[in-house]
């Protein structure tokens, strides 16, 4: 029997110990990410109040908050009211812990390790918020872009640069490439598919009061939004033929109504939104704008470019498009998603960025050298 040297055994034990520490710490951070995922899209503080059940509101005790273990011990239910705790909490903690461990095993103690720990945790927040709310918080996208520039300047090796000025330059070029490429994709998609006519058998109610817009189809809870939040570009419009309603003292029956970011037009009469009288209308068909891609996706790609450079942008764009198409087709095929309904694109960009971190350069090189016959 061959005995290992004492130094080798000690080194192996240290590696196992620190790997366990990394996994546990990653799970703890994952628990905090769950707080961010739940509260950020609701504009709630991520600091106060402390952890509590989102159903009954009771504060959690410390042993209810142990990452991974508490969810398993409670069998996914609140200890107080018995309400179901979403498995997403467990998944986020496990994913963050697993990714942190994988990064530790790949990079070891290094500036890259600390940078990528921050990045994957930040992107996981964006991924799960987008899956639930179809938005990407600016804290993730803009924050990630700023962090990318700062880290690549402080640690130019992240961009394979010899000095900080080159690291800064490559980071800025990367964010410009990420934002520019995806903005062009978004612009072209909106040009081709940016409008859709929706039919409502029972009719839809629309109220325009100055710059506030309210739509009610009788099925979902109506929400009031600023016109500029609904119509995000100069080309966007809402257009319909009213079956009934009023604008000021004028009857709307059979008149065409058109709303843009700045104007309201009824029949042949036009007002600026600030001067327009209150509009109340009922219609059975209404043309609404739709974005082929959200601005959050554009800003997310900027963050990827800021961290990894322009090559990562092309890689993430291609891989995320393939992943999104495959998953979208499968969801529709298995009737888990209806054709024409939006699919969040951010999660596929995030997955593509993770693939880039671990093997993007090798995969790109393999594809470039792949023999074509």
Cis peptide bond upstream of 49, omega within 30:
yes
Does residue 358 lie within any of the structural domains? yes
Q: Give this prediction's pTM.
A: 0.76
Q: Do 314 and 189 fall within a single domain? A: yes
Does residue 10 lie within any of the structural domains? no
Q: Do 203 and 134 fall within a single domain? A: no
Does residue 161 lie within any of the structural domains? yes
Domain that holds residue 126: 109-193+294-373
Q: Divide the 373 residues of the chain into consecutive groups of 10 and give the mean pLDDT of each group.
A: 55 82 94 91 84 81 85 85 88 96 91 91 94 88 94 91 93 92 77 68 84 79 72 78 87 87 88 89 83 79 93 90 84 62 83 90 69 47
Look at phi and psi of residue 276 and say left if phi exceeds 0, alpha if psi is from -120 to 50, else beta: beta
Of 289, 314, 346, which marks where a domain is finished?
Answer: 289
Residue 275 near residue 224 (C-beta atoms within 8 A): no
Q: Do 43 and 184 fall within a single domain? A: no
Cα 362-363-364 angle, rounded to 5 deg: 90
Of 289, 312, 342, which marks where a domain is finished?
Answer: 289
Q: How many CA atoms lie within 13 A of 277 on its CB side?
A: 12
Residue 91 tokens read as: 């998944």
Q: Do 301 and 280 fall within a single domain? A: no
Q: Do 237 and 262 fall within a single domain? A: yes
Q: Do 243 and 183 fall within a single domain? A: no
pLDDT for 153? 94
Of 68, 96, 124, which marks where a domain is finished?
Answer: 96
Does residue 11 lie within any of the structural domains? no
Q: Do 184 and 130 fall within a single domain? A: yes
């Amino acid at each position: 029997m061959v005995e290992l040297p004492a130094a080798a055994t000690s080194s192996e034990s240290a590696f196992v110990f620190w790997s366990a520490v990394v996994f546990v710490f990653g799970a703890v951070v994952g628990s905090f990410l769950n707080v961010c995922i739940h509260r950020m899209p609701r504009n709630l503080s991520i600091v106060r109040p402390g952890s509590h059940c989102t159903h009954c509101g009771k504060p959690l005790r410390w042993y209810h908050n142990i990452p991974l273990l508490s969810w398993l011990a409670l069998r996914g239910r609140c200890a107080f009211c018995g309400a179901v705790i979403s498995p997403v909490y467990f998944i986020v903690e496990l994913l963050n812990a697993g990714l942190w461990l994988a990064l530790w095993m790949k990079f070891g103690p290094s500036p890259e390790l600390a940078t990528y720990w921050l990045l994957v945790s930040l992107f996981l927040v964006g991924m799960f918020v987008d899956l639930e709310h179809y938005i990407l918080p600016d804290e993730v996208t803009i924050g990630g872009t700023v962090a990318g520039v700062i880290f690549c300047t402080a640690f130019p090796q992240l961009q394979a640069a010899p000095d900080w000025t080159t690291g800064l330059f490559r980071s800025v070029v990367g964010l410009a490439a990420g934002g520019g490429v995806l903005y062009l994709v978004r612009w072209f998609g909106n040009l081709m598919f940016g409008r859709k006519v929706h039919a409502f058998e029972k009719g839809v109610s629309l109220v325009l009061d100055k710059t506030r817009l309210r739509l009610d189809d009788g099925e979902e809870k109506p929400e009031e939004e600023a016109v500029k939040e609904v119509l995000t570009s100069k080309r966007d419009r809402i257009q319909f033929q009213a079956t009934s309603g009023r604008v000021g003292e004028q009857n709307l029956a059979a008149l065409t109504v058109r709303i843009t970011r700045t104007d309201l037009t009824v029949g042949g009469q036009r007002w600026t939104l600030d001067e327009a009288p209150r509009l109340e209308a009922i219609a059975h068909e209404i043309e609404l704008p739709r974005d082929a891609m959200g601005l959050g996706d554009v800003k997310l790609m900027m963050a990827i470019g800021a961290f990894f450079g322009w090559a990562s942008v092309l890689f993430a764009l291609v891989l995320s498009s393939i992943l999104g198409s495959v998953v979208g087709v499968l969801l529709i095929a298995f009737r888990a998603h209806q054709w024409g309904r939006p699919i969040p694109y951010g999660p596929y960009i995030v997955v593509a960025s993770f693939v880039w971190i671990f093997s993007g350069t090798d995969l790109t090189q393999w594809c470039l050298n792949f023999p074509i016959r």
